[in-house]
Structure 1
Amino acid sequence: MLRRAPSLLVALLLAATSAPVMAGAATSYRDWAAIEARVATIGFRLTTANAAWCPAHQPQFGWIWSDPRLYDADRRPEALAAYGASDRDAPFIAAIAPASPAAAAGMRVGAAVVGIQGAPVPEGDGDHPFARITAIETSLAALPPGARLALDGGEGRAIDIAPVPGCVSDFRVEPSAKPGAVADGRMVLVNYGLAQFATHDDELAAAIAHELAHNILRHRDRLDAVGVDRGLARQFGRNARLFRQTEVEADRLSVWLLAGAGYDPAAAARFWTRFGQRKGRPLLQAGTHPRWRDRVASLEAEATAIAAARAAGQPLHPPLIDAPPPLE
């Protein structure tokens, strides 16, 4: 059992509930670790390759963290074995992107970390299982983007890492079989069901790029600034219209993020076509999101614009980056 963090759009890791890791999608902790590796690789590639387009940066290391506290005691040995983690108390590295600073520093999946910058690993606030990971991620994101990082791996193992600047976002995999994801302004949470639904990494990158686009465009802050209702009223009237505007913006930018990171821009339209036609989708279209055929048309239009720019030998530059339209 992996203890699941609640949605960051409701509250940032204030509590945790138990949820089955393997329900309906993953079949073992090794499968779970493989999904984290995919997400770490895609997240690192999207944030660093597109750093020049992002108004704010943080250090990117190319990893995803985990913690023995996330696993129920009776399954903890099995879970740690899947990562090759031998320390049953310390947080550890769950995934490493190829060619990332973490990989260049010789980090390995399962490596324990007991200290950061000469101090013990922060415990975080509260007693929920994600407290340490949240504290670690938050403290690292606040460092200067180019600052070197010293880690203590215990037993005299010192690791020095030189991060690279990237767009502001960390990534985490959620234990939910639902094919979904969410962004809160700094974090992107990807359900393992979404990774299972995506037939190719370019499609998974399209879904992750959509959430990253929400963070880059500061949609949470912008929606809060205009006083949207995040309760039941979000489905109606002005609230729904403003949420729908942010979804359209995230769709449009996501195609450019794919292109900037070397993924196929056409993968976005392919993914959202399949997503819109999937079995078990809601019978009624949520007012907060555009109809899937409309969003696919928008995605195809952006891919066409990218192809035209490339054919003309023009540099790529997303139209929303410099001046996103006001929410009104």
Structure 2
Amino acid sequence: MPPVMNPLRRGALAALAVVGGSWLLSPAMAQDGVWPQKPIQLVIPYPPGGSADLLARPLALQLQQQMGRPVLLEYKPGAGGTIASQYVARSKPDGYTVLMVLAAHAINDSLYPKLPYDTRKDFTPISLVAHLPMIVVGSNKLKARNIAELIAAAKASPGSLTFGSAGNGNTGHLAGEYFGNMAGVKMTHVPYKGSAGVVNAMLAGDIDLSFDSISTSIPHVRSGKMHALAVTSPQRSPLDASIPTVKEQGLPAFEVNGWYAILGPAAMPEAVTRKLSQEIATSLKNAPFKAQLEASGYEPVGSTPQALGRHIDAEIQRWSSVVAASGAKVE
């Protein structure tokens, strides 16, 4: 019997087909001069295969079906997402070039001494798309099976345990630093180019653990190739309620929740911003699509532009203290 395909992966493959031959438009194609009148470019700041990609592909397909125009994915990885952010910040503010950002967008504001853009002033908030819990996951060479054992191992040999992330300043990197500061332990950070690199290093046993998005690591936990120590969200994840939170295991103040949002360049027309925000909210209320995301651990949101702006402001403030405490800087 052939294996059952993960629903999110099935959506991703469908989105690939759409991107490859996307001029077969639906009957819903607008003909009245209202935006959108041409393909929309959704810029992704990380390589294919990571949690942003796994959300962006099915979202692009869903939006295309609703609006009747192609939503094309453009990957511009590098420099912790700042290359993609700079590209969009300098794009024409007509709604045809938008950006998917992660929590790293807020982290970069204090991590990089000289960003080529203003994190708030150079972008138009559109919608908070989803939250995604992170997971503390160990490779099979890590003997610790819970947070207490992890802390004990790290204290027994300071700096010997290695944790990987998708790059310097990435949410996984800062989550690891935040954990180390709170637990009073020292671990060695190993940066990779994207989440796929971290997963491959974990599978090969090149690193001990990672603070990764649950969507990318949980399949390997289920297969026995990695083991879960905890989730970093306030509550246990419905994706696997057997995995306890870090809070439950002795660090009650520790909480890191990944998030994904859509931004455009500054000065986008209000009508276009509102239209795209409403289309995203509508897509996330679509029952099959919502179930598809939840099956991979995403928690759909769909906010107003104003709510997203407030969220980003709060995240910038929160992560600035974490960056300062960690001493992390990227030149």
TM-score bracket, normalised by the shorter chain, equals: under 0.3
Kindly indicate whether structure 1 or structure 2 has the higher relative contact order, using CA contacts under 8 Å at least 6 residues apart: 2
TM-score (norm 1): 0.25
TM-score (norm 2): 0.25
Structure having the higher strand fraction is: 2
